[in-house]
Every structure is written in C-alpha cells, then in structure tokens.
C-alpha cells in the first residue's frame, strides 16, 4: 500500500527509492512531463492528532533509510568538497556537521545535503532524488584529488526519532547543547549507530542489517512509529523547505532563506559563489520563502495570486492540528507578510506570514 492511513489524502505522494521504481515507470509512460520525473509529492495531507501529539510531546519513530547516502575518504576529501558546496567543510571538527547546498555555476540549487565529519570520513546525506546529481558532481570534478567516493545508500539505514523525548530515549542527551548536526557513535542493544542531532530530535545511522533490531530496541524504550505525513507537518510548521516541492534548480539559496543555515561568506571559492555573494551583499532577491495560513487546504503546485497577478506557487502543504491548513510558498518580494492572497482554482483565501509558523 502507498497510503498507510485513510486520513492521508494522497493525490501523488513523496514516493522515493526502490520500492516505487515500477510505479514511477508506469506514471512516466502515461503522464510524460517536462519536470524531473522522479519528483512525486503528496499534494494534500491530513495528520492524525494522536501522531502529532506523539512528536510534539513524546517521541515518534520514522524510517528514512531510503535517503541518499555517500562517504568521502582520502587526504584531499575536505579540500575537494570545500570547493563544491556552500558551507565551510574545512572548519568541521570530528563530531560536527553542517547543512549545505550544491549549485550550478549561476548559483541555482542542484540539491542540498547534510555533511558529517568523522575521524575517518565525510558522510553525505541527501534527498534520494538528488543523489545521482551529487554522485555525478563528485565523480566528474574529483579527478586529480586524493579521495575515494563510497556508496552507502543501501549499506546504511536511517531511523529518525522525532519529539522532545528523543535524546533521552536514545541515551544521547549530551548532544542537545551541542546543537544541530552534532553527532557521535552509541550502542543500543549491541547495535552500533551514529546519533545525529536534528532540529526536531535525533537521527540514528546504522548498518542496514541492524536496522530492524535497532527499531525494535527503540520501540521497546518507548518510541512509536509515525507516518511521514506527520514528520512533514512538523517540517512545514518549522518553515524548512525541502528539495522537490519547495526548492529546485531555479532557486538561489537566499530566496529560500537558507543563507544562515547553508552558506558561509568567509570560506574560499566554490561553484556558484559569485551569484550567491553578489545577491547577499548588493542585491535583493526577487522571491522569498513565506508561509501561507489558508482558509482551506491547498495543493502543491497551486498558483498564488495577488488580484489577477500570479505572485508565487504553493510548495509543501499540511493541515496542522495546531495551526490549521498551511503551506510554504516562494512568493515575489512585493508580497509582504500580512498580505492577503488567493490560492488555486478555488481562490482559497490565505495570509502571507513570516516563518516559522506561530
């Protein structure tokens, strides 16, 4: 089944990875499109209140093993990656990490990734849909560097603990003060995993063969499985865009509000730096990532209208038990927070708001 609960209204959903390969082929044959064929999204979701309480008051568990995973080793791994991504890789000590983007020469986003530094390697974690682009970039431009590229998508599983009890449940409370992307190894029921601090809890990276045992141990400790829809609702509430529904190769990081999280303005040169730096120091982005508080649920891809003029397009959507129907949208800069807009063919009324949602 593609939908676990009848409460989740699936139009075309975030189906990534091997399990959807045959489905994707069928869709592409019947619905050829100019957009990348590997991006399919939930365009309208409703979250179970019980699951929402779990991730806001206790600890939910979500398997994200299908995310794309790579590793770089070798004497020049950091030097190489420093010139390819927007954040400062060379500044990372073992046990630290960062969020970054990789860009076209014109500063447009080809994808985003999490980079974790260990004593032995750099771990790279990206959307499954952008894994091939990242892999190709490294293979193409690393010629002449002393480094090795390792595939880890199938070899490593990834479990996310979501909620305020996540760190304590996994005996990783020491990672709390260290901040997002801090990480270390730990052992649970004989399974060695890398615990990684996230904005909403903790990720656990382990050998794929150990994931079922790790999941059972976490459930025994009090974690309960939640759907991806619930995790997506928290992400939308937090105002964090996702590559695919919110970001694509037309977006410059500053337009999506990513400069603080993903861009270093003190490091050396990297691909796309000129555009990113010029926009930051001298220009004004034409678009901004905003929140939409809607009177009714909208759909990913719906146009955002100010009068008769289209000023944006709806990205990620959710019906939040706390806030109600909400969405992320890149809208033109003249549409300031507090403005009223209409969304979609039904002209759903919405208010443009700053992120995160309050």
For the segment 269-328, what is each residue's pLDDT rounded down to a tens digit?
999 999 999 999 998 999 999 999 999 999 999 999 999 999 999 999 999 999 999 999
What pLDDT sits at residue 43?
A: 59
Alpha helices in the chain (DSSP H): 21-30, 49-57, 77-82, 131-141, 166-169, 211-221, 228-237, 259-262, 273-281
Rounded CA separation 62/161 (Å): 7
What pLDDT sits at residue 45?
A: 67
What pLDDT sits at residue 36?
A: 38
What does the buried/exposed string (b/e) look like for 147-177 if buried means 16 or more CB atoms within 10 Å of the residue's CB? bebeebbeebbbbbbbbebbbebbebeebee
Mean pLDDT value across the chain = 90
What pLDDT sits at residue 42?
A: 53
pLDDT tier for residue 79 given thresholds of 50, 70 and 90? very high
What pLDDT sits at residue 24?
A: 36
- Helix-, strand-, coil-residue percentages of the chain, each rounded to 5: 25, 30, 45
**Cα atoms found within 13 Å of the Cα of residue 24, Cβ hemisphere only:** 16
Enumerate domains of the chain plus CATH numbers.
Answer: 59-65+155-221 (3.30.1360.120), 68-151 (3.30.70.1400)
Q: Range with the lowest mean pLDDT among 35-44, 254-263, 296-305?
A: 35-44
The residue among 116, 207, 121, 196 whose CA lies nearest residue 156 is 207
Whether the pLDDT of residue 47 is over 70: the answer is yes
Q: What is the mean pLDDT of residues 115-131?
A: 98
What pLDDT sits at residue 129?
A: 95
Q: What is the CA radius of gyration of the chain?
A: 20
Dihedral sign computed on CA atoms, order 41, 244, 22, 34? positive
Q: Are strands 303-306 and 287-294 parallel, antiparallel or unpaired?
A: unpaired
pLDDT tier for residue 146 given thresholds of 50, 70 and 90? very high
Q: Are strands 109-117 and 97-103 parallel, antiparallel or unpaired?
A: antiparallel
CB 214 within 8 A of CB 206: yes
Whether the pLDDT of residue 96 is over 70: the answer is yes
Q: What is the mean pLDDT of residues 331-354?
A: 98
pLDDT above 90 coverage of the chain, percent? 86
């Amino acid at each position: 089944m593609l939908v676990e609960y009848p409460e989740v209204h699936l139009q075309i959903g975030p189906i990534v990875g091997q399990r959807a390969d045959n489905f994707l082929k069928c869709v592409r044959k019947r619905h050829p499109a100019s957009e990348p064929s590997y991006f399919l999204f939930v365009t309208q979701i409703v979250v179970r209140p019980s699951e929402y309480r779990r991730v806001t008051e206790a600890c939910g568990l979500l398997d994200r093993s299908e995310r794309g995973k790579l590793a770089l080793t070798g004497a020049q791994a950091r030097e190489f990656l420093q010139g390819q991504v927007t954040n400062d890789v060379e500044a990372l000590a073992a046990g630290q990490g960062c969020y970054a983007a990789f860009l076209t020469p014109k500063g447009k986003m080809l994808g985003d990734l999490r980079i974790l530094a260990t004593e032995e390697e750099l771990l790279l974690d990206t959307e499954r849909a952008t894994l091939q682009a990242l892999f190709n970039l490294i293979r193409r431009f690393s010629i002449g560097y002393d480094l090795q590229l390792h595939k880890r998508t199938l070899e490593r599983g990834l479990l996310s603990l979501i909620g305020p009890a996540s760190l304590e449940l996994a005996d990783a409370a020491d990672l709390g003060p260290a901040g997002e992307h801090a990480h270390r190894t730990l052992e649970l029921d004989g399974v060695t995993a890398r615990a990684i601090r996230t904005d909403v809890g903790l990720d656990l990276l382990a050998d794929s063969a150990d994931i079922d045992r790790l999941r059972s141990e976490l459930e025994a400790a009090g974690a309960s499985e939640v759907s991806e829809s619930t995790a997506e609702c928290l992400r939308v509430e937090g105002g964090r865009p996702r590559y695919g529904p919110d970001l694509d190769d037309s977006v410059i990081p500053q337009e999506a509000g990513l400069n603080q999280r993903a861009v270093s303005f003190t490091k050396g040169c990297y691909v796309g730096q000129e555009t990113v730096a010029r926009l930051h120091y001298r220009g004004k982005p034409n678009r901004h990532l905003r929140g939409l508080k809607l009177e009714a649920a909208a759909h990913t891809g719906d146009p955002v209208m100010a009068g008769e003029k289209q000023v944006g397009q709806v990205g990620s959507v959710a019906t939040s038990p706390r806030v109600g129907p909400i969405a992320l949208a890149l809208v033109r800069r003249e549409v300031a927070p507090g403005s009223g807009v209409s969304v979609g063919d039904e002209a759903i009324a919405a208010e443009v708001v700053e992120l995160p949602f309050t």
